[in-house]
A and B are shown apart, each in its own frame.
Chain A
Amino acid sequence: MSTIQAAEKPPEDIEIPKPELSIVVEFTGGLEMLFSDQRRHPLSIPVTNKEGNPLTIADLIEHLCNHTMKDTRKELFVLDDHLRPGILVLINDADWELEGEEAYEIQAGDNILFVSTLHGG
């Protein structure tokens, strides 16, 4: 452990730019049609959520709905505040079920892929 004291925290009332994470979010299997017909979205997202906790996949999904998705059919992506059943998530190519699903804390440089299994050929 370093003995150097961490930089003094700025007073809370001063606006400072929030630190951000750079990640890549991808949509495929038909989901790209909800996201401007674009598969790959390099994004900068806040490091922490509203409560000040590290940003999780659940927060990312909310962020995507509020900021990235232009399509109004949110229900094709989110149902009852959770990702729609039938949409798979791969975190750096691993099934999100191996990574804690919505609770996974996003790291800088992560690649998060949303794949729909719901669409036909």
Chain B
Amino acid sequence: MPPALCALCKTERALIKRPKNHQKLCKGCFIQIFEDEVHHTIISSNLFFPGEKVAVGASGGKDSTVLASVLKTLNERHHYGVDLVLLSIDEGIKGYRDDSLETVKRNAVQYDMPLKIVGYDELYGWTMDQVVETIGKKGNCTYCGVFRRQALDRGAKILGIKHVVTGHNADDVAETVLMNLLRGDLPRLSRSTSIVTGSDASEVKRSKPLKYSYEKEIVLYAHHKKLDYFSTECIYSPEAFRGSARSLIKNLEKVRPSAILDVVRSGEDMARLVPGATQDSCRCDGKPASHQAAADDDNIGGCGSANGRTNGGEMAAMEKRLRENEAAEAGELETEITVTKIEVQRHDRPNQTNGQPKTPGTNLPVRLKQKLGTCEKCGYMSSQKLCQACMLLEGLNKNRPEITL
């Protein structure tokens, strides 16, 4: 067949077929529109303010590398005035993280951004290699996941940064929506669809500027911009290569590429029905965002929610919310792990200089918003007496084989 021409410039040969709308684009127009759409998401969600210090959670993989590159480009092009830093976590897995950390170090030079690497060993006193040595491979992902989540926050605090951006893309969000749907976990589904999380309850907020970007386009962007990224699989869970929710997403995409953003949108709509949900989808969606004066290019189809829907169900949603408030608060456990004993045990690391006062009294069963407590040991935000990391550490430290003192 004759080569198709770019639908936008109509001169160059089309090299990309966009999954969201089948548009055929040349390399230059694709790169431009990809960046414009991320810019749209950033502006319409008011993600940044001038002078803000922002840490990019950087793994060296495709998503965070593209995120760092795009943010650098947009920050310069649109004068966000944000101060970008790369923040990497070293889980302490030999033969896995080493190469990707090397990639991040190169990225720091390529993008002229400072880089901070924080290790599980310094934060928790345990590397993942040591954890696996102690508990075996089964279930180690739980430890790693809990540790990583806090590690980004703690790393940000060390840097004096209150905003961490991560490379979660539309496929990731769709996958999470499906997983939480399959688990019946609507509170978590709600949180996972928000573009910004944790801004109220914790000192460090998270956001996902690539929330509406297809994984396919992220990979193609990295390819055509010749970005330096590293692909790897964790040596402790090679089967994590494919979650079944992931396979489902990819199979759906094959049949109907728009399905990914459709699932994201459905997740956002469901999130509105969940009690306590704060954020909703991109604010260009029906809601006349009050603070959108800065949205100079409002009509770029950047977010996935621009398909002329209305929000007529909001009143009903509010009523439902009121009715369900109690039930959901009771059900919204942060963790499945329960701790029976609370004897004092030192965290491997002295409490952070996070200025967070220890508040052992805040865990009274007050029927307030559940997430406002802090961990008795480390001061990290927690709905339980101990945060998840401290609970896991407690178990680990008990089992630490012949510890050398």
Please give the residue numbers on chain A whose beta carbons come within 8 Å of chain B beta carbons, in ascending order.
Answer: 28-30, 33, 76, 85-86, 88, 90, 93-95, 97-100, 113, 115-121
A121 touches B60 (CB 8 A): yes
Any chain A CB within 8 A of the CB of B134?
Answer: no
Query: CB-CB < 8 A to A33: which residues of B?
Result: 233
Number of interface residues of B (CB under 8 A): 41
Minimal beta-carbon separation of A64 from chain B (angstroms): 19
Given contacts A29-B219, A90-B223, contact A119 B231 (CB under 8 A): yes
The proximity string for B residues 14-31 relative to A, scoring 1 for CB distances below 8 Å and 0 otherwise, is 111100000010010000
A85 touches B250 (CB 8 A): yes
Given contacts A29-B219, A76-B241, A85-B247, contact A121 B17 (CB under 8 A): no
Query: CB-CB < 8 A to B233: which residues of A?
Result: 30, 33, 119-120
A120 touches B17 (CB 8 A): no
In B49-101, the 8 Å CB interface with A consists of: 59-65, 100
Given contacts A85-B254, A95-B17, contact A115 B4 (CB under 8 A): no
Q: What is the chain B residue whose CB lies nearest that of A116?
A: B231
A88 touches B231 (CB 8 A): no
A94 touches B231 (CB 8 A): no
Docked Cα-Cα span, A113 to B3, in Å, equals 18
B251 touches A85 (CB 8 A): yes
A30 touches B232 (CB 8 A): yes
Query: 6 other contacts beyond A98-B14, A120-B234, with CB at 8 A cut-off?
Result: A30-B232, A85-B250, A117-B171, A117-B218, A121-B65, A121-B232
Any chain A CB within 8 A of the CB of B230?
Answer: yes
Minimal beta-carbon separation of A120 from chain B (angstroms): 6
A120 touches B15 (CB 8 A): no
A120 touches B220 (CB 8 A): no
Query: CB-CB < 8 A to A97: which residues of B?
Result: 17
A sample of 20 inter-chain contacts (CB < 8 A) reads: A28-B231, A29-B231, A30-B232, A93-B27, A94-B3, A94-B15, A95-B15, A95-B17, A97-B17, A98-B14, A115-B223, A117-B171, A118-B242, A120-B61, A121-B65, A121-B100, A121-B167, A121-B230, A121-B231, A121-B232
A121 interface neighbour in B63, B219, B247, Cβ under 8 Å: B63
Minimal beta-carbon separation of B23 from chain A (angstroms): 11
Docked Cα-Cα span, A120 to B246, in Å, equals 12
Any chain A CB within 8 A of the CB of B327?
Answer: no
Query: CB-CB < 8 A to B15: which residues of A?
Result: 90, 93-95, 98
A88 touches B219 (CB 8 A): yes
B62 touches A88 (CB 8 A): no
A100 touches B1 (CB 8 A): yes
Query: CB-CB < 8 A to A86: which residues of B?
Result: 246, 250, 253
Docked Cα-Cα span, A113 to B226, in Å, equals 14
Q: What is the chain B residue whose CB lies nearest that of A33?
A: B233
Query: CB-CB < 8 A to A85: which residues of B?
Result: 247, 250-251, 253-254
Minimal beta-carbon separation of A111 from chain B (angstroms): 12
The 6 A-B pairs at the shortest CB distance, nearest first, are namely A121-B61, A121-B59, A30-B231, A85-B250, A119-B231, A86-B250
Query: CB-CB < 8 A to B60: which residues of A?
Result: 121
The proximity string for B residues 232-247 relative to A, scoring 1 for CB distances below 8 Å and 0 otherwise, is 1110000001100011
Query: CB-CB < 8 A to A95: which residues of B?
Result: 15-17, 220
B232 touches A88 (CB 8 A): no
The proximity string for B residues 289-324 relative to A, scoring 1 for CB distances below 8 Å and 0 otherwise, is 000000000000000000000000000000000000
